[in-house]
Amino acid sequence: MKTLKHWSLHQQLEHHVELTVDGQHTLCLYVLEENLFRVLLKRQGQLALDRTWSIAPQQDVPWEGRARDDLSGFSLPARQLTREGDTLTIATRQLRVTVHQPLWLEWSYRDEAGEWQPLANDRPTSAYGECPRRRRRPLSEPPQR
């Protein structure tokens, strides 16, 4: 597995930020709600599946899934973007994520006193990796040794 390490800010759009990772992949960070972000990694800029069955506001995800870039039903609050050294921070009033160089994410929430508290973070080394795709063989074909 090849570790994904180096990122650069590709573009800031109204409701999400796109980072280019290792010159070929796209990491998208969407702000859906004050306390809900979506992290989406596109291998070589493409999605393996264009549908999701995991996040839908207000109701269950339809049987056929939901487009991964669909933002309908979310409040899409304002966000603050801060660039400082080798980090990029995206924050709402309740939640923030800091993207570090090399690539790893650090999450914090704002407590009742208004102070940022650690919530979760990736490991600082080898947080994300790329597995090479293998040719899929028919079930009738024996595995190669």
What pLDDT is recorded for position 20?
97
Q: How many domains, the chain?
A: 1
What pLDDT is recorded for position 76?
96
Coil vs helix vs strand at 52:
strand
- Which residues form the domain of 7? 2-47+75-130
126 part of a folded domain: yes
CA distance 36 to 138: 41
What DSSP element (H or E) covers 87? Answer: strand 87-91
Q: pTM for the complete prediction?
A: 0.84
56 part of a folded domain: no
Per-range mean pLDDT, top range of 43-52, 53-62, 114-123, 126-135: 114-123
Q: What is the pLDDT of residues 51-84, one digit of tens each?
A: 888 777 877 888 888 888 889 999 999 999 999 9
What pLDDT is recorded for position 54?
78
- How crowded is the C-beta side of 120, counted as CA atoms within 13 Å? 3
Burial class of residue 13 (count of CB atoms within 10 Å of its CB; 0-12, 13-18, 19+): exposed
63 part of a folded domain: no
- The full length of the chain comes to 145
